[in-house]
Amino acid sequence: MKQVFVTGGSGFVGQNLIPMLIEEGYQVKALARSPQAVQKVEQLGAIAVRGDLTDAQQLAQGLKGCESVFHLAGSVNFFASEEELEKIHVQATKLLLSAAKEAGVKKFIDLSASSVIMNGKPIENADETFQSDHIVDGYSRTKLRAEQLVLQAHTNDFQTISIRPPMIWGKGDNNILPAVLEAIKEGQMQLIGGGKHHLSTAHVLNVCHALILAERAIPSGKAYFITDGESPVFKDFISQYVATQGVTLPDKSVSLGMAKIIATIMEFVWKTFKLNGHPPLYKALVNTLGLEFTLKDRRAREELGYKPIVTIQQGMKLMNS
């Protein structure tokens, strides 16, 4: 039985990946830094490894006997300070790569993000050759630097690969859906430009399927976009998504130009007065949810054998299963 090591196992993607790995015959060891995380990954069927991504000794112990690493840990926070995200994404990935090599791990599969190509402008049908000339947020900049570390570490003996999903969604989503529901509750939800733009999405089960395919392929030191194979209109998608929770999306809209002005002002106020949390609107949010953003996943289909296992409509039905 092949043994694998998972970081971020108690997170949204990890909670879906661990059962899929076990069902596919893998033995899973999952890094867990809190008693709650330990309990969660053990309930999913993994062997909990107490520790975190800052302790090389704990990582070395946990990686013993593992053939592959699935590196999912990160902070999906587009408003956090870049200095903090540098530690979480870049420094932690650097340490994990080193520990994995020392432990004799053969394959390293990294969960990156498609936002590493966002540039504050509409992007249509981009493939992996597209590179941003202006990444506007610290989350995406640090994810790109971490991804580059992973891909640069690729050798014949230590094979690496990065999976780049766009907005990950599905049952158990603890990021996008709660934020939208809270905005609706507070009366702050407005669609930018009427929400008429298209976007690529990635259901969490499709992401996990791609990660497993990446482990089974001969990792190539490349990055791969993963999508649901559809590019819905943003308003239609979000309306369906919140409807699974019995909520109706309000018919409120703000122009893209005005959204950018409001975001700039709010971001300035929040940072100047060091307010807690993040403002209702900020530049990275406009960039990620207010602009056309569609991707091609042809490389993953051709080289990894990827195709979605869940459609958007099926994913919506699974929300209440």
Total residues belonging to the chain: 321
SS (H, E, C) the chain: CCEEEEECCCCHHHHHHHHHHHHCCCEEEEEECCHHHHHHHHHCCCEEEECCCCCHHHHHHHHCCCCEEEECCCCCCCCCCHHHHHHHHHHHHHHHHHHHHHCCCCEEEEECCHHHHCCCCCEEEECCCCCCCCCCCHHHHHHHHHHHHHHHCCCCCCEEEEEECCEEECCCCCCHHHHHHHHHHCCCCCEEHHHCCEECEEEHHHHHHHHHHHHHCCCCCCEEECCCCCCCEHHHHHHHHHHCCCCCCCCCEECHHHHHHHHHHHHHHHHHCCCCCCCCCCHHHHHHHCCCEEECCHHHHHHCCCCCCCCHHHHHHHCCC
Question: What gap in Å lies between CA 12 and CA 77, rounded to an integer?
Answer: 14
Catalytic residue among 26, 139, 224, 241: 139
State yes or no: is 139 an active-site residue: yes
Q: Catalytic residue numbers?
A: 139
